[in-house]
Structure 1
Amino acid sequence: MPAQTTHNPGLTVDQVNELMGSIYPQLNEGGRDYEAIEVFSGGCTVRLNADERHLRPGGTVSGPTLFTLADIGGYVLVLTHAGADALSVTTNLNINFTRKAEAGPVDAHCRILKLGKSLMVFDADIVAGPDRLTVAHATGTYSIPPAGKKSV
């Protein structure tokens, strides 16, 4: 299913990465693990550069790490499409793990399912490996602060 192309981003990929670095600096302490690599109408792609720090025994990228990637994807969507407000928060996030993800680039292809005045619903197809197969699928909801209460 394609992204909802009626929603145009207000920030570029460089702008959202800079914003994330300023409002959430602890995310990438010691490197650039998580980053937005594409922002487009109704969606975005975020990447985890997974290395040994993200692996659980058996060489698999841990579930909490993939969960974080999905949540970062939702945050990038809300920042780029609903307004650059750092106070937007996750209200729900569900994830299904489908196969093992190994170290290397892991991408979450995110799209807006519904963007309202106070809530944004999205999904994320998380892919990894040389064949870029789905390793997890997530759905989530972000709460958007009321107009006039902007933090950034």
Structure 2
Amino acid sequence: MLVIEKSTYDAIVAHARKDHPDEACGVVAGAEGSDRATRFLPMLNAAMSPTFYEFDSGDLFRLYKELDERDEEPVVIYHSHTATEAYPSRTDINLAQEPGAHYVLVSTRDGADSPAYDGSVEFRSYRIVDGEVTEEEVRVVGSYEETSEGEH
């Protein structure tokens, strides 16, 4: 299950809406081994495409160097689909190289890109390991402290 803070959830959705009609992409980092997505890092879609996303190789190198220096890892790797459901494409599956990460997809189809859109946004999370896709539940919380207090 992906447990994610509301502020991070909102930031991912806002980024997807802002970059529409191109796919948005980014990472939410967290302390190694914590499974807590705490540092929102929107990235530039170097492909600038409505059907494909690609991290710039220089940006990706700098990101991993910074994560290593901060003892962090990519907890969430996210991108948007602009005209299709929030489900990994064959390309998404082939590019998934972080078996421990939650792969989040947001769909901005059917008007969901508009800030005035009052329907719920399709926001789904997956684990992708060795080409196998497993959808997982998403739980949005006010803060991680709320979850740890409730789990004692």
Task: State if a TM-score over 0.5 links the two structures.
Answer: no
Greater strand share, structure number: 1
- TM-score normalised by structure 1 residue count: 0.29
